[in-house]
């Protein structure tokens, strides 16, 4: 019968063996089209361009769950401005002009408004940090690619802790990619990989044009999922609908979780909202991850 220390030693030995195997597997193979690095370069490129300003009207639906299953919904309308400048992060501001709340939420109108504004305005800051994770390809289907990522410090710690023969190659991106995939997919490492603070792992769905269609951020307290739909404005892709998980705390109700959905209309690229017709917008209806006709 193995002692606890004996089981730990055996587990470490098995993990080290796995790291050695995945390090050996990380040998150059036939080039993928597109490669993981190519997809990441496309994803981080500003959309629709490096220099733009977009004005739009928006409609928001906020659905909150509380207690043992209660559901509350709120709606809001207003104006959105989004802009990007070379060398700067993406900026986004919301002006809520009208909000409709159920009676139970009306005492918390200020909190609800802040929740909507913060979730949408800070969403660009919540986008995956593509420099802080080691990425790998999980799946490919119909021109869409599922990428997984594990925080780089966790990958390094795994390689060093288990002292595999590949630990000396912690700077090798192919080895790191293989180890990250093992950490992400192995049931044995599911608990070990969890860390506090920034997302310890993430999963994203990217199309061949580099548009991030969906992503999930994994924290030690849970996961946040975001789905993004796009429209073509004057031939350029611009996000059109965003649905994202939210979590907040309300007095007397306690912690509430749910989803916020924002849909844009009357988008205008590099023009004023007043006196200028909206740009030509063509949208696709998002059905099960595919685009079906025009709306």
CATH of the domain at 42: 2.50.20
Residue 2 belongs to a domain? no
- Number of compact structural domains in the chain: 1
Residue 152 belongs to a domain? yes
Residue 133 belongs to a domain? yes
pLDDT tens for 266-291 read 998 887 654 444 444 444 322 233 33
Residue 150 belongs to a domain? yes
DSSP helix, strand, coil percent of the chain (3-state; round to 5)? 30, 45, 30
pLDDT tens for 183-210 read 999 999 999 999 999 899 999 999 988 8
pLDDT higher than 80, residue 146: yes
Between CA 74 and CA 38 the distance in angstroms is: 40
Domain containing 166: what range? 32-270+282-294
Other CB atoms within 10 A of residue 150 CB: 28
Please tell me what DSSP assigns to residue 48: S
Between CA 181 and CA 247 the distance in angstroms is: 29
**Residue 253 or 27, more confident:** 253
Residue 167 belongs to a domain? yes
Residue 5 belongs to a domain? no
Closest CA to 145 of 226, 229, 33, 30: 33
Evaluate if pTM is beyond 0.85: no
Residue 27 belongs to a domain? no
pLDDT band at 169 (very low <50, low <70, confident <90, very high): confident
């Amino acid at each position: 019968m193995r002692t606890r220390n004996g089981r730990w030693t055996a587990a470490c030995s098995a993990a080290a063996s796995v790291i050695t195997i995945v390090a050996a597997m990380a040998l150059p193979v036939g080039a993928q089209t597109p490669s993981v690095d190519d997809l990441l370069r496309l994803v981080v490129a500003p959309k629709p361009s490096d220099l733009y300003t977009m004005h739009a009207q928006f409609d928001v639906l906020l659905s909150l769950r509380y207690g043992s299953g209660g559901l509350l919904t709120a709606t809001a309308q207003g104006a959105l401005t989004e802009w990007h400048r070379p060398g700067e992060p993406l900026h986004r501001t919301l002006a809520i002009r009208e909000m409709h709340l159920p009676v139970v939420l009306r005492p918390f109108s200020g909190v609800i408004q802040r929740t909507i504004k913060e979730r949408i305005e800070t969403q660009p800051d919540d986008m995956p940090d593509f420099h802080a994770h080691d990425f790998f390809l999980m799946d490919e289907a119909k021109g869409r690619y599922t990428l997984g990522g594990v925080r780089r410090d966790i990958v390094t710690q795994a390689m060093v802790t288990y002292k595999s023969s590949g630990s000396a190659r912690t700077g090798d991106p192919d080895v790191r990619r293989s180890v990250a995939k093992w950490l992400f997919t192995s049931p044995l490492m599911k608990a070990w990989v969890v860390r506090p603070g920034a997302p310890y792992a993430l999963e994203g769905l990217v199309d061949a044009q580099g548009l991030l269609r969906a992503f999930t951020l994994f924290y030690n307290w849970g996961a946040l999922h975001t789905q993004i739909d796009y429209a073509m404005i004057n031939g350029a892709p611009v996000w059109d609908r965003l649905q994202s998980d939210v979590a907040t705390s309300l007095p007397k109700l306690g912690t509430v979780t749910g989803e916020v959905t924002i849909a844009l209309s009357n988008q205008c690229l590099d023009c004023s909202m007043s006196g200028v017709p909206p740009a030509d917008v063509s949208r696709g209806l998002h059905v099960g991850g595919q685009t079906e006709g025009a709306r």
